[in-house]
Structure 1
Amino acid sequence: MEPETSLTAAEPWRVILEPKSMHREIAWEIPGAQRTVLAPVVVDGVDYLFPSRAIWDRFQVDRAEIERRAALASAADLATLKPRYERNNKQVIQYAELTSDRPIVASAVLAPKFLEMFRDTLGDKVLLVVPSRFTAYVFPALASNYQDYYPMVNEAIHATAWPISIEVFEVSLEGLRTVGVYQSP
């Protein structure tokens, strides 16, 4: 195993997308987001431990350091995922699905090279929805009919013990920005 790979596999810190309704003591706003925040976690096996304000203060960690460490871990998480592409009857890609049996998808989508995974198939900008820690859907930003997939996204958020959000984000070279939320038809 390469030294960096073993380091990232052992890195316990992650930053994940998390429902705002969980009211984590340490959470960072996403500009424009109404239902989703970024939350730092320590991974302990399959458990995600959310630090309290007292723990955060006692260990004197800061957001920049956690984000730096989490970027390495999220890159390692992303490297373990393989997108499944859904095509229409003309073989045009409609969306990509990322899934894992481990709760890593909510951190993997924040990896620095996330957009590179889809640049050749979905374009330089993508739309992202993460209904659970285990599932994400990625749509092309141009000529997308992502709204048509409300039933699929709604089913995914209700089929898990760890729901995140039906908020839709645009991922581009400028970063992550909120563009909307799925509404029932």
Structure 2
Amino acid sequence: MKTAIIKYNAGNIRSVLFALERLGVSGTVTDDPEEIRSADKVIFPGVGEASTAMQYLRQKGLDKLIVSLQQPVLGICLGLQLLCRHSEENDTTCLGVFDVEVKRFQSPVPNLLKIPQIGWNNIAGLHSTLFEHVPENSYMYFVHSYYAALSPDTVAITNYVINYSAALQKDNFYAVQFHPEKSADAGARLLESFLKL
């Protein structure tokens, strides 16, 4: 099985590669359209800023490529946000796979609920094959200041300030706001389920 990890100017891609290696799967980190198109599975991870990430994707022609993919695609963190329609982060038009607005957290109690959310939080309302082996209310590791609003594509919910989409799914596109590669056993189970799709 060939697994492509989309390379663009967003951090944290290596940790996804290492997580796959722990599962006995070798991934290829690439921005080559043919390598991505020919992969059995595609992972679109990232930590960074939406507008510069989208600029890089457009320069490389990866924006049109990603939305045309037919194989299972997994967006992680910034990858989830870029698969949405629009981000408040620098007023960025994103890829539009999910018709969802990405908004910045507005903490009602700044000293209590800090932005960004950093740390472990539980996920609930799980309804996707991604979560087949992940128990309800499992804890996952989050690092983000922006969130995807709830929508018909929401397949998992978490709460920080408000309820928001911990995961989205539409057709062959799956996306999670948390970092499965840093989320211990539950995260490893989710990655295994994705690889078996």
Same fold (TM over 0.5): no
TM-score scaled by length of structure 1:
0.26
Which protein shows a greater Rg?
Answer: 1
TM-score scaled by length of structure 2:
0.25
